[in-house]
């Protein structure tokens, strides 16, 4: 009788656990991407009352006798099947159609978590985050204007950093080097800017308030401007700006044989930075290209560098005379109090099925701002729920691409795949994955669990009745 009482109690306790799991499943039936769980049971050690005996040639062996001691929960497994999709129309909502998990990071601890919940939002700093503020991970820069290292950089996804820039005032320009200076300017390579009002001249053309240029960041305090994003990315072909107040020198005569031009009272000294434009230029000279001069009286020779001009070395070869009306300008120093305005703002963005963030700027420019990444796991049952739709224990789950048991967040993130690659699913932007809990199935299991609980309770009450009868025999 005592064994039956204990077995009944054990059964009631285990079925209580089952009911707890069912209740939690039903409570999360509307939780985004929730994965339902189920309880699995196994019997416990049985008590052997008589061991079986083997058959012989003349006799049959006796059957064994064992009495079980109840059961216990062997596992609580998560159902990792995909839930249904629901369109929301929110551009930062994303559902994974297939295998894989988003990776999100706690910025205070740098701990990495996995989640199927794609109900993301953009915070005030432009980061793509979960509702709890965990930052979504991915390739952060992919536009052509970004450097090779930036194109593959993996980390916190940020949406509002790209070609748009706010106004900068008090910018200075060195005409000799064409380098702009602004303390802590905050520009990044590839940013677009323009001059909203006051602007310098340009050596090989004209600019207006509609002229857009691309930033090439040199230091935190200096940068150059370029006509194309490709030039900005490499730092090549910086725009040659000139002082708008200087006066052109004309009326030169050209001495082809001696590679020089001559003009009285030209006002130039050795080492001056100059450029030529207009008219028919002497052969060997290019409009808008900065040159350095060496001067002897009325004679002027051209050099490619200041050092050559000061040394009188490597004179530029003059091949043809050109015309006498070509113009020569001398850059005179530094201009301050320029203002630069953002060249374009973000008009809209959206996410593709491959996880790429497609940016559209107000000037019509389109580019890829970054790309979300997904990670798959060899043993999803080893993932541990930690609340807020997140899982940890990622290393134990065996992230694909990782062989070391001790691999940490850095390795797991760096081996993540773009959606649609390496067995990962594609993204449905503007949609969410719903809970995979089946209400009908849960209620069915609740009924059977309830009946099982009642049956074990009946075992206890029946054993109690028998014990009462046995106690009554003493009277």
Reported as half-sphere exposure (CB side, CA atoms, 13 A), residue 187 has a value of: 32
pLDDT, position 293: 93
Decide if pLDDT at 162 tops 70.
no
Highest mean pLDDT among 238-242, 307-311, 327-331, 336-340: 307-311
Q: Which two tokens stand for residue 456?
A: 């074990």
First vs last C-alpha separation in the chain: 20
Q: Which two tokens stand for residue 320?
A: 């043809």
Query: How far is the C-alpha of 256 from the C-alpha of 258, rounded, in Å?
Result: 6
286: left (phi over 0), alpha (psi -120 to 50) or beta: beta
Kindly report, residue by residue over 27-40, the tens digit of the pLDDT: 999 999 999 999 99
Q: Which two tokens stand for residue 381?
A: 């049952």
Decide if pLDDT at 296 tops 90.
yes
Q: Which residues contact 446 (CB under 8 A, 6 or more apart)?
A: 19, 22
Rounded to a whole number, what is the largest CA-CA distance in the chain?
A: 143
Q: Which two tokens stand for residue 376?
A: 């798959």
- Pick the more confident residue, 210 or 319: 319
Look up the pTM and report it: 0.65
Range in 2-6, 252-256, 300-304 with the lowest mean pLDDT = 2-6
Average pLDDT over residues 235-250: 81
Structure letter (DSSP) for residue 382: G
pLDDT, position 185: 87
The residues with which 338 forms a beta bridge, in sequence order, are 171
pLDDT band (50, 70, 90) for residue 217: very high
Decide if pLDDT at 409 tops 90.
no
The angle, 0 to 180 degrees and rounded to 10, between the axes of the packed helices 439-472 and 2-27 is: 160
Task: Give the containing element (helix H, strand E) for 294.
Answer: strand 291-296
pLDDT, position 140: 78
% of the chain exceeding 90 in pLDDT: 46
User: Which CA distances in Å does 299 have to 96, 115, 310, 397?
Assistant: 73, 75, 15, 79
User: Which CA distances in Å does 123 have to 66, 153, 435?
Assistant: 64, 21, 26
pLDDT, position 202: 85
Query: How far is the C-alpha of 227 from the C-alpha of 204, rounded, in Å?
Result: 12
Other beta carbons within 10 angstroms of residue 55's beta carbon come to 10
pLDDT, position 134: 96
pLDDT, position 204: 72
pLDDT, position 429: 94
User: Do residues 395 and 64 lie in contact, with contact meaning Cβ atoms separated by under 8 Å?
Assistant: no
The average confidence (pLDDT) of the chain is 87
% of the chain exceeding 70 in pLDDT: 94
Pairing of strands 291-296, 273-277: antiparallel
Q: What is the dihedral of CA 291, 294, 300, 301, to 10 degrees?
A: -60
Average pLDDT over residues 198-224: 87
Residue with tokens 């985050």: 129
Range in 139-148, 283-292, 377-386, 434-443 with the lowest mean pLDDT = 139-148
SS (H, E, C) 23-62: HHHHHCCCCCCCCCEEEEEEECCCEEEECCCCCCCCCCCC
pLDDT, position 420: 94
- Pick the more confident residue, 336 or 227: 227
Rg (CA), the chain: 39
Average pLDDT over residues 308-318: 95
Kindly report, residue by residue over 12-69, the tens digit of the pLDDT: 999 999 999 999 999 999 999 999 999 999 988 788 888 888 888 888 888 888 888 8
Kindly report, residue by residue over 328-357, the tens digit of the pLDDT: 888 777 777 888 887 777 778 899 999 999
The residues with which 215 forms a beta bridge, in sequence order, are 225
Phi, psi dihedral angles at 418 (to 5 degrees): -70, 145
Nearest to 199 by CA among 249, 247, 245, 248: 245
pLDDT band (50, 70, 90) for residue 142: low
User: Do residues 201 and 244 lie in contact, with contact meaning Cβ atoms separated by under 8 Å?
Assistant: yes
Q: What is the DSSP string of 193-248?
A: EE-SS---EETTB---TT--EEEEE-SSSEEEEESSHHHHHHT-S---EE-TT---
């Amino acid at each position: 009788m005592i064994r039956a009482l204990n077995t009944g109690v054990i059964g009631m306790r285990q079925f209580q656990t089952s009911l707890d799991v069912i209740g939690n499943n039903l409570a999360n039936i509307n939780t985004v991407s929730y994965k339902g769980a189920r309880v699995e049971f196994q019997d416990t050690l049985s008590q052997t009352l008589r061991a079986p005996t083997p058959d012989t040639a003349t006799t049959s062996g006796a059957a064994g006798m064992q009495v079980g001691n109840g059961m216990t929960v062997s596992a609580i497994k998560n159902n990792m099947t995909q839930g249904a999709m629901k369109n929301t129309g929110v551009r930062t909502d994303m559902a994974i159609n297939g295998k894989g998990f988003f990776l999100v990071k706690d910025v205070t601890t740098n701990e990495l978590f996995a989640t199927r919940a794609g109900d993301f939002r953009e915070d005030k700093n432009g980061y793509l985050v979960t509702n709890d503020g965990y930052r979504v991970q991915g390739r952060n820069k992919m536009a052509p204007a970004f450097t090779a290292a930036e194109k593959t950089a993996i980390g916190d996804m940020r949406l509002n950093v790209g070609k748009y820039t706010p106004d900068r005032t008090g910018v200075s320009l060195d005409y000799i080097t064409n380098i702009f200076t602004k303390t802590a300017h905050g520009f990044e390579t590839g940013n677009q800017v323009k001059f909203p009002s006051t602007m310098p001249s340009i050596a090989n053309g004209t600019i207006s308030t509609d002229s857009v240029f691309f930033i090439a960041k040199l230091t935190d305090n200096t940068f150059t401007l370029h006509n194309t994003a490709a030039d900005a990315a490499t730092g090549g072909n910086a725009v040659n700006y000139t002082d708008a107040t200087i006066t052109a020198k004309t009326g030169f005569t050209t001495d082809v044989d001696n590679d020089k031009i001559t003009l009285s009272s030209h006002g130039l000294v050795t080492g001056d930075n100059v450029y030529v434009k207009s008219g028919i230029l002497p052969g060997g000279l290019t409009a808008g290209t900065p040159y350095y001069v060496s001067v002897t009286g009325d004679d002027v020779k051209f050099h490619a560098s200041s050092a050559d001009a000061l040394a009188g070395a490597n004179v530029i070869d003059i091949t043809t005379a050109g015309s006498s009306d070509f113009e020569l300008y001398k850059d005179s120093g530094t201009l301050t109090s320029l203002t630069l305005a953002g060249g374009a703002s973000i008009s809209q963005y959206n996410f593709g099925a491959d996880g790429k963030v497609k940016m559209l700027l107000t000037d019509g420019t389109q580019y890829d701002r970054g790309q979300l990444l997904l990670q798959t796991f060899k043993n999803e049952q080893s993932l541990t729920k930690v609340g807020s739709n997140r899982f940890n224990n990622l290393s134990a789950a065996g992230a694909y691409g990782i062989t070391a048991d001790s691999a940490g967040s850095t390795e797991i993130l760096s081996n993540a795949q773009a959606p649609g690659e390496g067995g990962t699913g594609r993204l449905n932007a503007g949609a969410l994955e719903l809970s995979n809990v089946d209400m009908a199935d849960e209620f069915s299991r609740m009924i059977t669990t309830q009946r099982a609980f009642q049956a074990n309770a009946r075992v206890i009450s029946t054993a109690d009745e028998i014990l009462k009868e046995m106690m009554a025999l003493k009277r």
